Each structure stands twice: as C-alpha cells, then as structure tokens.
A and B are shown apart, each in its own frame.
Chain A
Amino acid sequence: MVTEHGSAARARRIGRLVIYGSLIALAAFYLMPLWVMITTSLKSLDEIYGGSFIGLPRSVTFEAWSKAWSQACIGTSCTGLKPYFVNSLMMVIPAVLLSTGIGALNGYVLTKWRFKGSNLVFGLILFGCFLPFQAVLLPMAQVLGKLRLSGTIPGLVLVHTVYGICFTTLFFRNYFVTIPDELTRAAQIDGAGFFRIFFSIMVPAALPIMVVSCIWQFTQIWNDFLFGVSFTAGDSSPITVALNNIVNVTMGRKQYNVDMAAAMIAALPTLVVYVVAGRYFVRGLTAGAVKG
C-alpha cells in the first residue's frame, strides 16, 4: 500500500476538482443555447417580452410549436414549416441513398480493382470534398434550368448526390483499404465476379461505414442552406430556407417563441440522429482528418 504525502494528495484532489469544474462549466456553455431555445419555445410571447430569458417557463404552452409547424408565415404564404419539412425529407432520403450507394461502389473499385490512373481519379474526387460551392453555383443554376429541374426537389436531389459522392467515396475508400486484398483474391478463385464480390463480401463487411456515410450525408443535406436558397424559391424550398424566412420576418412584434420552436423543428431530425448514433457521426466528422 502506498501512503501518499498529505499535501500531494490534497493538491491532486484540488487538481481533479479544477478539471471537473472546468468541464462542467464548458458543458453548461454548450448546453445553454439549446436550453434557451427549448424554454423560449415553450413560453408565451407575453412572458418573453416580460423579461424571462433564461428561466423556466411559468406555464408551459405548445402554442409556439403548433404555430411554427402549421401557421407561421414564410413569405406571403402562412403554412408553417410542415410542407417544407416534407420537402426536406423528399430531398434528403433519395440523395442519401444514391450518394451512399454510388460512394460504396466507387470505394470498392478504387481499392480492390485499381487501374491505371485510379489514384488520379481519387485525387480528383477528393478535391470535390473541399469545393467551395460558390464556385459552381452559377453553372449549376444554368444546367438545372436547361434540365427543367430548377426550383424542384429532384433538382436538389441531383445536386446533393453529385457533391455528396465526393465524401461518400472518401468514406468507403478509406474503409475498404483496410480490408485485405487477399479477400477479393480468394473470392475470385472461388469464382465470384465483380458484383458478386461486392454484394456478397464487401457490402456485408461495410455496414458500419454505411451507417457513417448515411448519417453524414443526412446531416449535411438536411442542414444545407446554400443550394436550397440558390436553386429553389417559394413552395419547393427545404426547411432551412423556410426557417430563415420565418426568423427574418420584420413585420409586427417578433414572435421569438415561434422562431425558437421553428429552429427546434428544423434541428430535431439531425439531433435525433446524433443522439441515436453519435458514435458514427463522430467517425464521419473525423474522416476528413484521417489519412486517406
């Protein structure tokens, strides 16, 4: 048994206290905006203007939520966020599935069926991950117009799939690289072809990265604003654009509780995904930083 010197033990205890204290203070800072959003959204407008900001609502009311969902005015149409929420869903689901599926195939080719120039192809795709979209907004708008897709949900699906492929390809490439090439060779000798190996061996082995890719794509596409605001208008906008419109209405007394409820509605899907599958979300986040 080690008997510790009294002062050393005390110093250590104080050190631990400082560490935990700082961590908890930081946690409070990170949680504060969420707290404020939720409490504000549950207060009545009078209570808010009465000066209650940080405290619990005196009486909880879901009025602001129902208003944000079905009555709030976006531009001139007062439909609430509901149709825009649906828009975002219609956009996000096909775009996530398409980009993940294509990324999986690309990652498979780039690791297990390398060809002359495949490294160059990967480099070209990789730069796409870091493309500032401002550099392609104008031509994309032109092309969507030519394809008669401007202002439509399928148009946004196309855009998000195209630029999503870059990240999903990176995910799958970096994952498949860790699967030994001998596995493909063994399957080849067993008589399996390109697609057979992909579906029978690679896909079942790639479930974790499938989840990472889907979550990452879901978060990115759901949260996108730039493409939404650039390529859609009015009814066909995704939820982020609609939220921004609600918040930036300048007429009349500002309904902060409705703003916050609307923000919560827009944030909920990604927050739920984060709470349910945070582990995979973090892997997606750090994928851009780990070696390719």
Chain B
Amino acid sequence: MATLEIDRVRKAYGSMEVLKEVSIAIGSGDFLVLLGPSGCGKSTLLNMIAGLEDITAGAIRIDGQTVNDLSPKDRDIAMVFQSYALYPTMTVRQNIEFGMKIRGVPAAEREKATREAAEMLQMGHLLDRKPSQLSGGQRQRVAMGRALVRHPKLFLFDEPLSNLDAKLRVDMRTEIKRLHQRLKTTIVYVTHDQIEAMTLATRVAVMKDGIVQHLDEPQVVYDRPANVYVARFVGSPAMNIIPGRLKDGPAGAELLMDQPDGGVSRIAGVQISDAARRKYAGRPVLVGIRPEGFSVAAPGQSAVKAAIEVVEPTGPDTLAMFTLGGTEVIARLAPKAVEAGQIADLAVTTAKVVLFDPETEIRID
C-alpha cells in the first residue's frame, strides 16, 4: 500500500511532446484509472511509473520517495500487461516464481507464496502447464498471480482485459474489483474502455493529447464532466451536446433550443451560479444532457417537443433519436414509451443538465 504522486511530469521524444505537465496524486488504497483513446499518453505514463521509460521532466513519487532514477526492479511495483507477457518457455509455476528467484527468495517461501496466489485466483490445477496450453482468461489469471506474489506497493495494469472476449472481460473485471477490495493495494490501471473505468476506479483521470482533462471520482466525472471532450468520452451512448441559448428571466435561467419545425423548446429551472448567469445571459451555450436525463413528460410538465426519427429497443430500455438544436439527440426511455414517427413531449431532469462554454468547451458552473 502506498501513495502515488505524479508531479508536473513531462515526456518528449525529441520535439514530439507526448505528455504535457501531468499532475496526479492518489492516496493509499486508491484505484486510479487512466482513461483515454489510443495515443493519449496513458500507457506512456504507466510505463514511466513502472520505470520502463525515462521521465523528461517532473517527478514521480511512490510513498513520498522520488523514483525517477530507480530501475523498475527497485520500485516495488508489479505490472500486468495487455498481452499477459507470460514467459512462453516456463510453466505457470516457473512464471510466478521467476521474480522471486531473482530476488533470492528461499524455495519454501516461494512455494508458499505461489500456493497462496494460486488459491486466491483458483488456478492451482494450472501450475504445471505452459502458457500456450492456457485459455485467454487463464493466462490473464496467471499474469495477475505473477503480480500478486510480489506484494508490491503498487499494482500497474496495462489494458489487461482488452484481449479477452466480451463475456470473459466482464467476469475478470469483477475479479479485479474483488481483488482490490480484499487486498486494498494502490492500483494504477490503464484502459480505453470507459465502462471499466466507471466500474473499477475510485479515481478516474481522463486523458487526451498528453493532458489530464479531468481527474475525479467516477461518478463526478460522469455527472459533472469538466469539458465537452470528457462528457462525450464517458458514458454510452454519449452525453448529448446540444447548441442552445441561455435566457435570464425573472423565474430564473431558461434554456432555449431550436426545434427542426421552427419552434423553440424551453427548459426552465437550470441550476447555475449567479455569476455565470450574468455572464452568459442572452448568449449561446452548449447544453449537455445525458440520454437518461430525458423522460416522457406528464401532462402539463414543461417539455421539449421531439419528433422521434428512430427507435432502438435494447431490452431494459429504448433509445429514441430525434433532432434538437440542429444536432442528433439520443434519449433513453422506458421500453415502448415512444414510436418512430411520433411527436413526443419529453421532460428533462434539470438537476442533471450541464452547460459548456461554446468556445472553450469548458463546463460552466
């Protein structure tokens, strides 16, 4: 267990800057997910924490100790790789014991640690097999077992589930979550899958172009995304970003969005600070509404008029597409709530509405 501090870290290959002043601090026992599309710098950052890549500028501290110049083996970390990186010519047991052997751990202790890890991951029967004789999920377990026996201060996961099929991925996700709850180790986990981030993390850092866009608890990142990019990246289907205008009236702030038929939809009672209300009054804003922020309006409730174009039933609910503010909008509604071709009145949960500045795309508070 340890704290991790990434302090104004930069990484450049020649003139190409991959990471631009990244600062992240997490506490002991935290589960940090670095979330972003490929090429955003998240794997580079993980490799720098592991000591597999040099740090161009800034510092990385594990438990308060700067590790910039420590080689990977001296950082007391363990890492699980996307391709599992099992040593192909060694048996599972040899794979797990390799690191301990190098450290000169006595045979009896090695045996004990291996047995414990195997028990925890239910892979005792696999110990004498070669990696090539294992299924994808089993390899994943072995890779985790290899990391577990080290009892490291810090666990690093590099997209560990992306080579697994959908079903197995969900199972292993739960497995990792359970492991974290049991061991309470600090974990840094890289992924491009926002569901993994939401389900696993205690802290999420959404990254893009070498910059941390938003660092917070997953629910906060979901509900109050720092900018339009984060709003669109987290959540599926993505948050609707609808061009609209803010109107300041005696009854409070009101949002106006153009309907395709020429009319205007109004949403009253938006929560916004007084300063922001004064600043944006009468000006365009981007209105962020999650698909589940819509619901079929009760009679008399203020609502947007939606000409439903397409309906996609998913089972537990129905996705309805319509146009608002000149852009396509998706609403998550109860099954069979609406039909294609129908004009529906949809209410908006105003507490969940987030506003963004149309120029900077940053959240307006």
Contacts and interface: CB of A to CB of B under 8 A. Distances in A.
- Say if the two chains contact directly (CB < 8 Å): yes
A182 B43 CA distance: 12
B88 A189 contact: no
A185 B99 CA distance: 12
B74 to A, nearest CB: 9
A180 interface: yes
Contacts of B229: none
A13 to B, nearest CB: 43
Contact of A185 (B85, B87, B98): B85
A201 B83 CA distance: 16
A189 B89 contact: no
Contacts of B79: 185-186, 189
Nearest to A204: B89
Given A189-B50, A190-B99, A191-B103, A182 B85 contact: yes
Given A191-B102, A191-B103, A200-B98, A186 B73 contact: no
A254 interface: no
Contact of A190 (B82, B84, B102, B158): B102
Nearest to B104: A191
A196 interface: yes
A189 B102 contact: no
B81 A182 contact: yes
Interface residues of B, number: 26
A201 B87 contact: yes
Interface in B80-102: 81-90, 98-99, 102
B81 A185 contact: yes
Interface in A173-194: 180, 182-183, 185-192
A271 interface: no
B284 interface: no
B99 A191 contact: yes
A182 B71 CA distance: 16
A190 B85 contact: no
Contacts, number: 63
A60 interface: no
A17 B69 CA distance: 71
A268 interface: no
A25 interface: no
Interface string B44-58: 000100111000000
Interface in B12-70: 47, 50-52
Nearest to B96: A190
B122 to A, nearest CB: 22
A187 B146 CA distance: 11
Contacts of B73: 188-192
B207 interface: no
B311 interface: no
B85 A192 contact: no
A252 to B, nearest CB: 59
B174 to A, nearest CB: 24
Contacts of B118: none
Nearest to B102: A191
Contacts of A121: none
A104 to B, nearest CB: 15
Contacts of A201: 87, 89
Contact of B98 (A180, A182, A192): A192
Interface string A121-152: 00000000000000000000000000000000
A182 B78 contact: no
A192 to B, nearest CB: 6
A201 B94 CA distance: 11
A189 B83 contact: no
Interface in A193-207: 196, 200-201, 204-205
A204 B87 CA distance: 10
B72 interface: yes
Contacts of A183: 85, 87-88
Given A185-B52, A191-B73, A180 B85 contact: yes
Contact of B83 (A182, A192, A200): A182
B235 to A, nearest CB: 31
B159 to A, nearest CB: 11
A185 B143 CA distance: 13
A205 B72 contact: no
Contacts of A187: 87, 98
B190 interface: no
Interface string B139-150: 000000010000
Nearest to A192: B102
Contacts of B71: 188
A264 to B, nearest CB: 40
Nearest to A207: B89
A205 B98 contact: no
B52 A188 contact: yes
Chain B CB count within 10 A is highest, among A187, A190, A196, A205, for A190
Nearest to B71: A188
A185 B51 CA distance: 10
Given A191-B103, A196-B102, A186 B85 contact: yes
B77 interface: yes
Interface in B199-226: none
A188 B82 contact: no
B102 A188 contact: no
Which 3 residue pairs spanning A and B have beta carbons closest together?
A: A190-B99, A204-B89, A191-B73
29 contacts: A180-B85, A182-B83, A182-B158, A185-B47, A185-B50, A185-B52, A185-B79, A185-B85, A186-B79, A186-B81, A186-B86, A186-B87, A186-B146, A188-B52, A189-B50, A189-B52, A189-B79, A190-B73, A190-B99, A190-B146, A191-B73, A191-B102, A191-B103, A192-B99, A192-B102, A196-B102, A204-B89, A204-B90, A205-B89
Given A185-B85, A204-B89, A205-B89, 13 more contacts: A182-B83, A182-B84, A185-B50, A185-B52, A185-B72, A188-B72, A188-B73, A190-B73, A190-B99, A191-B99, A191-B102, A200-B87, A205-B88
